[in-house]
Structure 1
């Protein structure tokens, strides 16, 4: 199934951004790695697997993984799964998740991953939209039975994959697949509304994966630790595709547990992993935590999904020799990467992204090739060319998807064919070759008619030693429309900060007075969706209450 128009595929192939080559499909890439790597370790289970699933952790070589993929592909084939059928999956980051994904790919089916946190409500809402033929999950996950939950929804066959794939002698078909065929159907994170279906092809994913592999300079000798649920852009573009492209070792982790995470880094000699800014900050602030941790193998940490601070990047580099790469992306294909190669200064790397697609600009990261971007004023629709003026980022090119699945949302493209991201950026006044993230358009606080970027204030708050995590949202005001509220998780072992203390720290940074928080809420944890993004709608509702 090809959703991109043929003329667009031909254009991207002719330009060298995409490939008209069956060897560029995921199954072909995997088979190539099997030939190259043979008995090298391909994938490793979470160390705490037995507590979650009741079975011991496993390690599979590339050859062993290939055999399990064949066996489970046979199970799926016997269940009637074939080319372009949509197979839902609800699996933790384990060996079986990789088996299920690549078994679907081997049959020419479309993988539609669901986060483990989803229950009957989400499945019954999204399964009809996806048109699921089958659903792969586990019998047990902690104290839950995801298989029983899925079975209660009905409308598709439920298959369990709790350990080694069952032996099946059914001869497998050999479908002819093109890298422009749909390979995944992911779901938007749903921070503001019902998730939308985002279909993507291997060609589109591989362009992003090449850039995500280039930023930490991954090779077959690397060991990648994957702590984010492998269900969206961070998992596929940031982990699975770089693994397929390089033949590195993939170490799985789920759900997040800090002692297990640090233990895996030491035991598996992990060289690259991912972590959100709040976790990177919390690890540095926890008394004595990193003094006893063995991080000597770790070279690079990828981060994103929330503002980073230059102080944070600098401390990881100076204390441990570990670089932090700043990623900004979306399931739809927005691809911005600020790494140590292109942006060596930590303050600039935290604040700015190389302007992929900027007029007359070129960048060494391969993902930037073919990307076109424009900033558009959200009121007038005029194109922005002057630094310091916020506007919506709109993107076109080989990383961008073809449109939402079966009309599950309105047309996301503008009159020029650019994807309307809903993300607000500005051309950096300090360096007009860079873009500075302002915020999600819907998250901007409008105080007395003036736009305030929560992301800017959040980055400054996270630098305060008493703040472990922070979100900034607007709350209603009869006079100004909205005022600024800070919602803060305090650091452990120190008194909770007061509003006066935080305002004083922000004033010391010389920010404009109208941006200062006028309300402080202390919470134990910020509400997040299944892939870790803060649910600001919940915070706004709490403040309205």
Structure 2
């Protein structure tokens, strides 16, 4: 399944942005060069997640398992371009499954382990998966039984492969070589179909080619300063850009060691950093901030091998980024990405000042601004007005981020055919739905403002709810607060503050407005309604789920 149009492939290949190597080619090269090097390491608490004891495989041992698993896939009649769904925790078998599938030209579609029959049935039918790989039990839930019950309702799903019950066959290298010669894999063909949430009821399928992923690996590897042979710790599930682009691809490209972790457990995470001599990992901002406040704990850890850490998904504190760099000598890379290929990374080479790095992202792909990162010349970016579509050139004016170039996917799976409408315009720009503004010295940076769908537009004025959230956080009677827009026939939207009060405290709307007015906030940003709630809905990384708040408020509008 070739994803990009041929003229784009020709241009990007001529520029040297895309090549002919597949992901399997990279792995094979590593296995030939350093067969005895440690390739992949299970979570040390594997037995708490799935069956079996933790395993540590060299490149030669991993290659053998890949050949055996690929032989088993051929035995089941799976062929090039078939979609193979995968619902596994971060274990050695997950790495084996991905690489075996790519060796045969199969398309991997990762499924979160939290998904149950409701989500799985819809997505498996939509993507037309021919097989799904899972474990008997993942953290106590019987995934094999769940999928066995679901399978009769999915006529295209021919095979349920349970890793801890289906024995691997003997490897058949000759058979695989003959198959590969008859079915060569092109680096521009789909390697994955990942899933990203949106406004539609069904998650959006995002196909990405081998070249798409390798470019993401270049971006993350450059920002993190990853060197050949480095040990990389992957603490996020291997299902999307954060893990595949952020850690798995840099591992493939560096030929080092990949240490697996899942689900996130701080004690296990720190132990792995020390015991495995980790050079690079990623972590949520809240974890990095919390660790800095545990000075005695940090002083007890040997972090001498840790060269850098990636973080993102929420705003980074300038104090946090500065302290890690200046006190502990560990730079934090600020990462803003998406499955579709959004790839803004503020690394220490591009943005040496740690406080700037916490707040800003380089304006990659904008004429007149040069950066050390290779990715900077491989993409184009611009901001456009949310209402008029006019290109924004001045600082401080919020606009939607648009990108095109080597990182950007070719379009959603089955767009317009029961799938979502594409977010790529006629000029090839991907409309991210993310709002930034031009900022910083000489207008060299972008500053993240808000998701476009979360921006409140009141009487033609764009209001960032994050800004008001931050101000309300200082109210002495509030434990938590967030604002959302509610429909209004006159103004389009009005602001509603949803608050969690501290024990034995009460507030009213006028008090909230007075508090914000005392901070010299523009009057159009003041809430015109408020609701109390026991706790704000948040995702696992702590981000407020404004969609859930809007749904809660809908009956009251």
TM-score with structure 1 length normalisation?
0.89
Q: 1:158-237 counterparts in 2 under 5 A?
A: 158-162=160-164, 166-170=168-172, 171-172=175-176, 173-174=179-180, 175-190=183-198, 193-237=201-245
Report the 3-state secondary structure (helix = DSSP H, G, I; strand = E; otherwise coil) of the residue aligned with 1:7.
helix
**How far is the alpha carbon of 1:205 from its aligned partner?**
1.3
Q: Secondary structure at the match of 1:485?
A: strand
- Name the structure 1 match of 2:71: 74
Q: Which residue of 2 aligns with 1:103?
A: 100
Per the TM alignment, residue 289 of structure 1 is displaced from its structure 2 partner at its CA by: 4.5
Going from structure 1 to structure 2, the CA distance change for 1:97 and 1:511 (only over 3 Å counts) comes to farther
Partner in structure 2 of residue 134 of structure 1: 131
Distance 1:508 1:165 in 2: 68
Greater shift after overlay, 302-311 or 354-363?
354-363
* CA separation of 1:506 and 1:331: change in aligned 2, threshold 3 A: farther
CA pair 344-287 structure 1, distance change in 2 beyond 3 A: closer
Is 501-510 or 48-57 further displaced after alignment?
A: 501-510
1:520 is displaced (CA, Å) by 8.6
Residue of 338, 342, 348 corresponding to 1:340: 348
The C-alpha deviation readout for 1:26-83, integer Å capped at 9, x for no partner, is 1110001111221111111111110111311111111111111111111111111110
Distance in 1 (alpha carbons) for counterparts of 2:289 and 2:533: 18
Residue 298 of structure 2 is aligned to residue 275 of structure 1: no
Q: Which has the higher contact order (CA 8 A, sep 6+)?
A: 1
The counterpart of 2:432, out of the listed 421, 437, 440, is: 421
1:472 shift after superposition: 3.4
Shift of 1:345: 1.7
Q: Structure 1 residues 332-341 or 192-201, which shifts more?
A: 192-201
The answer as to whether partners of 2:70 and 2:103 remain within 8 angstroms in 1 is: yes
SS at match of 1:92: coil
Q: Would you say 1:85 and 2:78 are equivalent positions?
A: no
Farther off after superposition, 41-50 or 450-459 = 450-459
**Deviation (angstroms), 1:503:** 10
Task: Identify which range, 7-16 or 475-484, moves more after superposition.
Answer: 475-484
SS at match of 2:443: coil
Q: Secondary structure at the match of 2:28?
A: helix
Matched with 2:394 is 386
Distance 1:461 1:63 in 2: 56
1: distance between equivalents of 2:291 and 2:129? 41
Distance 1:177 1:525, change over 3 A: same
Query: Which of 329, 336, 354 matches 1:321?
Result: 329
Change (3 A) 1:477 1:9: closer
Q: Which residue of 1 aligns with 2:37?
A: 40
**Based on CA coordinates, which of the two structures has the bigger radius of gyration?**
2
Work out the CA distance in 2 between the residues paired with 1:48 and 1:461. Answer: 41
Q: How many Å apart are 1:533 and its aligned residue? A: 6.0
Aligned residues: 536
Residue segments in structure 1 that go unaligned for 5+ positions in a row = none
Shift of 1:191: 7.2
Whether the 8 Å CA contact 2:17–2:406 is kept in 1: the answer is: yes
Corresponding residue for residue 464 of structure 2: 453
Q: Is the 8 A contact 2:473 2:481 kept in 1?
A: no
Instruction: Return the alpha-carbon distance in structure 1 between the equivalents of residues 463 and 506 of structure 2.
Output: 22
Q: Secondary structure at the match of 1:243?
A: helix
Q: 3-state DSSP class of the match of 1:229?
A: coil
Unaligned 5+ segments in structure 2 are: none
Contact kept? 1:34, 1:66, Cα under 8 Å: yes
- Distance in 2 (CA, whole Å) between partners of 1:392 and 1:533 is 20
Residue in 2 aligned with 1:146? 143
The answer as to whether partners of 1:191 and 1:537 remain within 8 angstroms in 2 is no
Which residue number corresponds to residue 453 of structure 2? 442
Specify whether residues 60 and 519 from structure 1 end up closer, same or farther in structure 2 by C-alpha distance, changes over 3 A only. farther
Give the equivalent residue in structure 2 for 1:4.
Answer: 4
Q: 1:210 to 1:124 in 2, by over 3 A?
A: same
How far apart in 1 are the matches of 2:421 and 2:46? 40
> SS state of the match for residue 161, structure 2?
strand
Match status 1:537 vs 2:547: yes
Residue 366 (structure 2) pairs with residue 330 (structure 1) = no
Q: Which runs of structure 2 are paired with 1:295-314 in the superposition (5 Å)? A: 295-314=303-322
TM-score (norm 2): 0.87
The separation in 1 between residues aligned to 2:328 and 2:506, in whole angstroms, is: 32
The 2-side partners of 1:49 and 1:505 are apart by: 50
Residue 482 (structure 1) aligned with residue 490 (structure 2): no
Cα distance, 1:336 vs. partner? 0.5
Q: Is the 8 A contact 1:179 1:201 kept in 2?
A: yes
- CA offset at residue 291 of structure 1? 4.7
Aligned-residue RMSD, C-alpha: 3.3
**Residue in structure 2 matching 1:52, options 49, 58, 76:** 49
The answer to whether the Cα contact below 8 Å between 2:22 and 2:185 also exists between their aligned partners in 1 is yes
